[in-house]
Structure 1
């Protein structure tokens, strides 16, 4: 296991993660890394900027006291540009590796995270949902992202989820479009009830422009989504400023 510094202060004096051998600190995760067997995604509504900062700092501080097993690949929190949302994205080598960590973790991580969320006014956290990466739209060149857009859908099962994702992958021939678009990574939940597109962009402004053009209501993309039975769009949120660890 790799142990983080107890109560580390992180980058620029922020509570959280210090430099760790074998890890990138406060970096965006590598979504298509081949050793990632399972993905956990969750979101918190912290109510406003103060609560958002409290969640980011409190959860980072909670994890800073936790030894990490070899099956841990990444855990990154992202700050919503709305000033209140926090996206939680984690990768493990397998379901079994994550479940074993949950079963054997004895440092009080769950209690520390719950206390951080409670202190920030986040109530009734259901925990993250387990996903698998199903497919991606990619560019020939992939610059580092400056913004992540979480696009969510509810689906009535695996059939509807795959029809949605496969149709979008086919529509674009597997290639990411849009000026400033880097990649779109489509995840399907373990129960088939959710699809999350973790979409990487150079900056939030680039995504704002594409929403007003290629992704407008009545356009080809939105018309296709509306045509797929059992799919309910849940909107999108933009995120920046990653906080966490990514195994190299």
Structure 2
């Protein structure tokens, strides 16, 4: 069966050989809420589709316009079998509940590298509390042509720039870099304690995110870099096998 979970996914969990990301546009915050409810209702009324899917997670865009989907597939064959037998019927049920959803894109990826800072922090009584991400930031990078070596080199350069920060913003929790199988895209799934932490990190002067350090300038002006978009999301729904 299918059950709902409030636990955020573990991006580097073993067995996830084919992570998929996709985006839907729904238009308004009210339609955004209705679509999340429709997804939950559709999936919870049906058996978990396959052992090849370990988790399906949905995130609400900060501006209320759309949703991000993240699915943890064991391999692409499991996904293709789901498409042939189960996906359309579920999409039809969701579209009946909320007509007019625009399915903007879907991407096939492989996780390349994960960078994690402290996963807990000290609270008032001196004990340690797990740091729960209140904001997920998706950085979507596109290059002007397929080049797997360039994908990896760009991520390596980002890691170098992050490692050189003398005072990294304390709100950052992790960054999980995924390489598009087509060779042109990189997607960074970054966890932050709050959206404001990410906003402050972008606005802060000096070294680090948003700065003009040579290492960050190199990242931002990489040869062949066509576009770079940053979008903040909030965890909305998690579905896992029961």
> d(CA) in 2 for partners of 1:205 and 1:224?
26
TM-score computed with the length of structure 2 as normaliser: 0.82
Report which stretch shifted further, 63-72 or 36-45. Answer: 63-72
Which of 129, 132, 147 is equivalent to 2:110?
Answer: 132
Which of 26, 40, 44 is equivalent to 1:46?
Answer: 26
Q: Which residue of 2 aligns with 1:167?
A: 157
Q: Residue 45 of structure 1: CA displacement?
A: 2.1
Matched, 1:87 2:78: no
1:128 aligned counterpart, secondary structure: strand
> d(CA) in 1 for partners of 2:162 and 2:180?
23
Matched, 1:146 2:127: no
Change beyond 3 A, Cα 1:237–1:107:
closer
Report which stretch shifted further, 155-164 or 90-99. Answer: 155-164
Question: RMSD over aligned Cα, in angstroms?
Answer: 2.6
> d(CA) in 2 for partners of 1:101 and 1:109?
11
Asked if 1 retains the 8 angstrom alpha-carbon contact of 2:23 and 2:104, the reply is: no
Which of 65, 82, 99 is equivalent to 2:80?
Answer: 99
Which of 229, 233, 242 is equivalent to 2:227?
Answer: 233
Paired residues in the alignment total 225
Q: Which residue of 2 aligns with 1:11?
A: none
Q: Residue 131 of structure 1: CA displacement?
A: 0.8
Which of 157, 170, 182 is equivalent to 2:173?
Answer: 182
Q: Which residue of 2 aligns with 1:15?
A: none
Report which stretch shifted further, 217-226 or 236-245. Answer: 217-226
> d(CA) in 1 for partners of 2:70 and 2:161?
27
> d(CA) in 2 for partners of 1:215 and 1:189?
23
Report which stretch shifted further, 55-64 or 130-139. Answer: 55-64
> d(CA) in 2 for partners of 1:240 and 1:192?
28
Change beyond 3 A, Cα 1:153–1:106:
closer
Residue by residue, what CA displacement relative to the aligned partner does 1:68-113 show, whole Å, maximum 9, x if unpaired? 2211111111111212221111101111222222233388223224
> d(CA) in 1 for partners of 2:214 and 2:135?
24
- Equivalent positions of 1:17-36 (< 5 A) are 20=3, 25-36=5-16
Q: Please state which structure has a larger fraction of its residues in strand.
A: 2
Change beyond 3 A, Cα 1:110–1:170:
same
> d(CA) in 2 for partners of 1:151 and 1:224?
17
> d(CA) in 2 for partners of 1:43 and 1:101?
18
Structure 1: segments with no counterpart, 5+ residues: 5-19
> d(CA) in 2 for partners of 1:132 and 1:107?
24
TM-score computed with the length of structure 1 as normaliser: 0.80
> d(CA) in 2 for partners of 1:172 and 1:135?
13
